[in-house]
Amino acid sequence: MKPLIAIPVFNEQHHLARVLSAVQRHRHDILVIDDGSTDATPEILRRYDVARIRHAENRGYGQSLIDAFGYAEARGYDWVVTLDCDEQHEPAQIPEFLARAAQGDVDVVSGSRYLVNFPDDDAPPAERRRINRIVNLLLERLLGLRLTDSFCGFKAHRTAAMMRLDLDEPGYAFPLQFWVQCVRAGLSICELPVRRIYRDHSRTFGGTLDEPTARLAHYFEVLVRELRREPVAPARPCERDCCEQ
């Protein structure tokens, strides 16, 4: 296996150094997608020997993942492990994702914060857990996809499988498009238990998405649009980004 560890970041100056130091212990290539950070994130990144994609402006979490998949495909990485940079994901579990991927029978290994209850798990924010449950139920009823966690960003993706998808949802609703297209493409999916960690309860989605009802309505809109969409040739990642090695 030739894995790439991809970390989308936006204004993560308080967490970035600790996350990168922990990920580097696993001695895999690392790509950081800086989604237009306006804090000290770019300066901190320069201290680390990692590949970087820098968005000139904030384009969204989904676009950062799309760009990571394109980067991996162009450079011959066969798996992309994604994790967030807010210390809600434990880099120590990266070998577990790669070990499961190495079994060769799945295309997506998706972390689940609800598959197993670990003794030191944090309680999830109630509205986020409720929305997750609603989306899980919709995906099962509409697609036959049974998940316990639709929104965990800790995943391992087979690069070749990602190139079969036509992903273009740039924002936080990216998982809704992602799961629909995975099912349509016949990809094999499994879940892997991860710890439930919430270190910063003040973190927000931004704008109207901070209101749970508006966020859920946006998720519904993207899900319905994707279900109605005719499959087309896969789109390429945004070519306007400047990649710095």
pLDDT at 244 over 60: no
Mean predicted confidence (pLDDT) in 55-61: 97
Q: What is the mean pLDDT of the chain?
A: 91
What is the DSSP pairing of strand 155-158 with strand 79-82? antiparallel
* pLDDT recorded at residue 153: 96
Quick: pLDDT tens for 94-123. 999 999 999 999 999 999 999 988 888 776
pLDDT at 233 over 60: no
pLDDT bucket at 200, cuts 50 / 70 / 90: low
| Alpha helices by DSSP H, 8-78 | 16-24, 41-45, 61-74
* pLDDT recorded at residue 122: 74
Quote the tokens at residue 77: 């990485």
Mean predicted confidence (pLDDT) in 185-207: 80
Domains, the chain, with CATH or none: 3-234 (3.90.550.10)
Measured distance CA(82)–CA(232) in Å, rounded = 25
Return the closest-CA partner of residue 24 out of 46, 48, 52, 53: 48
Q: Are 170 and 59 in contact (CB under 8 A)?
A: yes
pLDDT bucket at 238, cuts 50 / 70 / 90: very low
* pLDDT recorded at residue 205: 59
Quick: pLDDT tens for 62-76. 999 999 999 999 999
pLDDT at 198 over 90: no
Listing DSSP states for 113-154 in one string gives: SSSS--TTPPPPPHHHHHHHHHHHHHHHHHH----S-S----
How large is the C-alpha radius of gyration of the chain? 17
pLDDT at 28 over 80: yes
